[in-house]
Structure formats: C-alpha cells, structure tokens
C-alpha cells in the first residue's frame, strides 16, 4: 500500500481500530517512512486501466450517504491522459444524475477497477471535474458505446493502490472465454469428423461381409 493512499485513508478512527486489532505497527511504515508515492499512474497501471470494460465509482451525497454505481463500456473507455489524470466520456443514461449531482457538492471519487479473471484489483482516489457537451467528450468517446456522450469526466488522481487479491472470486467475460471456447469448438468438430469417418468405415466393413 503506497504512502499517498494510506495518508488519505488511515484516518484517526481507522488507526484506532488498527491499534485495537493489532495491525497498527505493520501499517505504520506506510505513514512514517519512505517517499510519498502511489499518486502517479505507471506503465503497469496504465495497461491495467486500458484493459478494463468497467469499474465501480463511489461519490458522496449532500446528505452524507455514499453512492456507488457501475460504469461500463467498450474495453479502453477509461483513458489515461497523463500520469496524474484519467478520464472517460460520460454517456447518456437513465437521466437520474445522482453521481453528477453529488459531484457538484463534493468532487471526491473512489474507483475500484476489477480483473476478476486474474484476481487483480486497483483502487483509485481522485477529484472529478466535467466539461459539458458532446464535443467536449470527442477525444474520450469510444466507437461501439451504446449511447452518445453528454460530457467529459476528468479525474485528477490523488492516490492509488493495488489491493490484496484474497477473496476475489475468478469470473470470466465472454470475450475472455472466447479463445478457449473456440479451441474447444474446433476440437469437438474434429472429433465429430473423425467419428463420422470411423462410422463410415465400419459400415463399409460390415457391408463387405468380411
């Protein structure tokens, strides 16, 4: 866990529980030593982000309630713009605008990006701004998106952290399974062809009276 992420998340209340549960000493190094890191996107993070077709995004309402929604789209719709910035085209949806309204009052966002197949998880904390209109989102829009963009959503990364893979149940999308299914399909077709050939040869053998 990088220091930048722990500085934002290890609040006094969190530290109190770490002390009570015996993990404070282990985690203290992330607050007290080493360079302040974990707020820039490196090559590994960039590749991971660009490979995602969705993520979970949390905002906080004016009433103090957290709101989490799933953002999905074609692979690569969440783009790395520079080592401290990511963004996506905010598409037209059900017109509730809960996240959009929440961010007017509090620009903080928390993202969780999941790779279920390989049991990997990246957490990102940042601050979001918007540029309204279809034209503003032109450079972020991905062909194949289900609806048109309403705005560009830009996130300045404050911290990020690779989370422990424990308890991530492996799941696979159709795209992830397709190469394996294609291989199995070809093997099945080859077996069916071979079976038909053997049946013909058996029938010919019986017909010959041998």
pLDDT in tens, 95-154: 899 999 999 999 999 999 999 999 999 999 999 999 999 999 999 998 888 888 999 999
Under a CB-based contact definition with an 8 Å cutoff, are residues 70 and 98 in contact? Answer: no
3-state secondary structure (DSSP) of residue 32: helix
- What's the rounded mean pLDDT across residues 10-24? 93
Task: Quote helix, strand, coil % in the chain, to nearest 5.
Answer: 40, 30, 35
Res 207 pLDDT > 90: no
């Amino acid at each position: 866990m990088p220091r930048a992420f722990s500085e934002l998340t290890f609040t006094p209340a969190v530290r109190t529980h770490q002390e009570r549960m015996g993990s404070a000493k282990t985690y203290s190094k992330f607050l007290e030593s080493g360079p302040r890191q974990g707020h820039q996107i490196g090559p590994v993070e960039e590749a991971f982000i660009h490979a995602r077709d969705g993520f979970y995004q949390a905002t906080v309402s004016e009433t103090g309630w957290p709101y989490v929604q799933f953002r999905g789209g074609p692979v690569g719709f969440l783009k790395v713009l520079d080592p401290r910035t990511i963004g996506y085209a905010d598409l037209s949806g059900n017109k509730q605008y809960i996240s959009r309204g929440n961010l007017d009052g509090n620009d903080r966002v928390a993202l969780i990006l999941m790779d279920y197949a390989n049991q990997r998880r990246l957490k990102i904390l940042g601050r979001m701004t918007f540029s309204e209109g279809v034209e503003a989102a032109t450079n972020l829009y991905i062909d194949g998106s289900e609806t048109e963009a309403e705005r560009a959503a830009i996130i300045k990364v404050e911290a990020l952290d690779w989370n422990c893979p424990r308890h991530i149940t492996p799941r696979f999308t159709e795209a992830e399974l397709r190469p394996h299914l294609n291989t199995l399909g070809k093997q099945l077709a080859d077996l069916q062809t071979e079976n038909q050939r053997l049946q013909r040869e058996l029938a010919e053998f019986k017909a010959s009276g041998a």
